[in-house]
Structure 1
């Protein structure tokens, strides 16, 4: 079978699409025919050796995918051959076939196609955990989303609105901000030509933002924090800008503000029951028609460099997925 293989840490362009031999199926695993796999910013960091997890070489990256079960291990319960599922293998999703522990599977709702389902887990789970468990976002609060047109930013807009927040979307171009308004953002800020701190203060009548969602880092983090409301919560999601900011600690002191790290994967491993409850609620939103997962960029596995470039160059609006050539219906 074809897989996207990392043979040594280095540039994404060094990855190779080549034949890959799967290990024998374990009793607790299913063999999944992958139809699509979500591409996430940490995937690029991992193959470059810049992520906190460094797999042994060689390895196949990719943390989430969707497909059809083709074989089940002898101890697997609740799933059967032919089931359409969403999977969170953590690694090895960028392949035509992957072995996955059955505890890392969820039934795929009929409301989703494979491309939507493939990009559902990591970004929506991250944002929901950030808002529900960490920030405890409340109806009527003001939520500021940096990098709002990107993969996680889109989920923050959608879930923020679903949870009753007033959402201010921040991005670098008017085109991206128009996209955010179409998703439901109440207000927008172009931080390439507007002062982020001043505009947030203006749009909140001087109060500031109750919750700030920051997957970008870099130069805008301090500006954003200086606009936070008394008792506000600042969510550290990641550093897509490349630079990890340094924040003067007198700012959270003066604002009685919180700085909350969002490491969904670490939390999910420590509290799998609560994590699965979150997924149950998210899938419920989909089935109720309250949440429509958005995939805007789709590439074949062989075109992986363009898929990663769309994310790393911050051009993507919404989720990016790789397809494996199977029928996507």
Structure 2
């Protein structure tokens, strides 16, 4: 089979190498999946750089999220069991973590449903307790993680403010349904949020960026507001000023979805049922900006790392050139 391998850490485009190798052999409790589609996630870039919280032994195949077919013919979505990730024709996954792929989604959309939408659901509902009528501020609203939060916020009845970087991403955020779109390159984020909310601020902030985005959030979060810390795509991990948290009376909530999969797998299954229902209702559909062949995986991971993509880029290992390129009416 063909698979991408990382033999030493660095920038994805420099360290990922495509080569022929034998299909991986499942260990105890694992299953072999024929990869139908692999969604490119920011953690794939962190894995290549050696900066992710999980560090698989070298060499490894990146690709943390896939839609695949089991040996008994089931179409499923799963997180991959590293070091045998999804940027390959075959990958491994834990049997206990397999989830049925929603029939209403194609392979690329199904591959993009798991991590971002589960993270969004747990962050917005279980951690922040988002309520209908509240204002939700989403940073990087046109990205893979942010676009999921936008759709879930709208489905929950919230007013959604999306922060993006640049006109193309602003247009994507509008199409996703944001009630207000703020371009951080040209707009004053704090002033815009305060104006939109009549000075109250955002009830819930969803932050996968960190750095300056987090600082802005603390300046425009509402009384009894909740900031959900999802990640640090900016590369800067902020240090919360607890005196400010006390004086303004807001909460800072961490969200590590992987802990639910490890410690409360039942809640992950319940969440998948709810997400599947939202898919069937048409309330959420993963935003796929590109579908690319396996040979383009390294470039795709690098572009996601550089923050130049919109929505999700998906790798289709089995594609023979059909249905590739821009998709879902959005380009990167």
The residue number in structure 2 matching 1:223 is 216
How many Å apart are 1:27 and its aligned residue?
A: 6.2
Q: Judging changes above 3 Å, is the alpha-carbon distance between structure 1 residues 90 and 195 closer, same or farther for their aligned structure 2 residues?
A: farther
Secondary structure at the aligned position of 1:112 is classed as coil
Q: CA separation in 1, counterparts of 2:66 and 2:296?
A: 17
CA RMSD of aligned residues (A): 1.7
How many Å apart are 1:310 and its aligned residue?
A: 2.5
Alignment of 1:218-297 (within 5 A): 218-297=211-290
Q: CA separation in 2, counterparts of 1:247 and 1:28?
A: 40
The residue number in structure 2 matching 1:24 is 25
Cα offsets for 1:129-181 (capped at 9, x unmatched) = 10111101111110001111111010011000001110001112122112111
How many Å apart are 1:36 and its aligned residue?
A: 0.9
Q: CA separation in 2, counterparts of 1:174 and 1:258?
A: 32
2:131 equivalent to 1:138: yes
| 1:236/1:262 contact within 8 Å kept | yes
How many Å apart are 1:10 and its aligned residue?
A: 2.1
Gaps of at least 5 residues in structure 1 are 72-80
Q: Judging changes above 3 Å, is the alpha-carbon distance between structure 1 residues 246 and 16 closer, same or farther for their aligned structure 2 residues?
A: same
The residue number in structure 2 matching 1:86 is 77
The residue number in structure 2 matching 1:112 is 105
**May I ask how many residue pairs the two structures share in their alignment?**
319
Secondary structure at the aligned position of 1:199 is classed as helix
2:10 equivalent to 1:10: yes
Cα offsets for 1:272-304 (capped at 9, x unmatched) = 111111111101211222222221122222112
Q: CA separation in 2, counterparts of 1:44 and 1:90?
A: 17
TM-score norm. by structure 1 comes to 0.92
2:67 equivalent to 1:66: yes
Secondary structure at the aligned position of 1:60 is classed as coil
Q: CA separation in 1, counterparts of 2:189 and 2:115?
A: 28
How many Å apart are 1:107 and its aligned residue?
A: 1.6
How many Å apart are 1:226 and its aligned residue?
A: 1.0
Q: CA separation in 1, counterparts of 2:28 and 2:256?
A: 30
Secondary structure at the aligned position of 1:226 is classed as helix
| 1:89/1:104 contact within 8 Å kept | no
How many Å apart are 1:111 and its aligned residue?
A: 0.8
Match of 1:196 among 183, 189, 202: 189
Q: CA separation in 2, counterparts of 1:246 and 1:140?
A: 30
| 2:45/2:302 contact within 8 Å kept | no
The residue number in structure 2 matching 1:77 is none
TM-score norm. by structure 2 comes to 0.91
| 2:67/2:77 contact within 8 Å kept | yes
2:143 equivalent to 1:150: yes
Stretch moving more, 123-132 or 83-92: 83-92
| 2:48/2:62 contact within 8 Å kept | yes
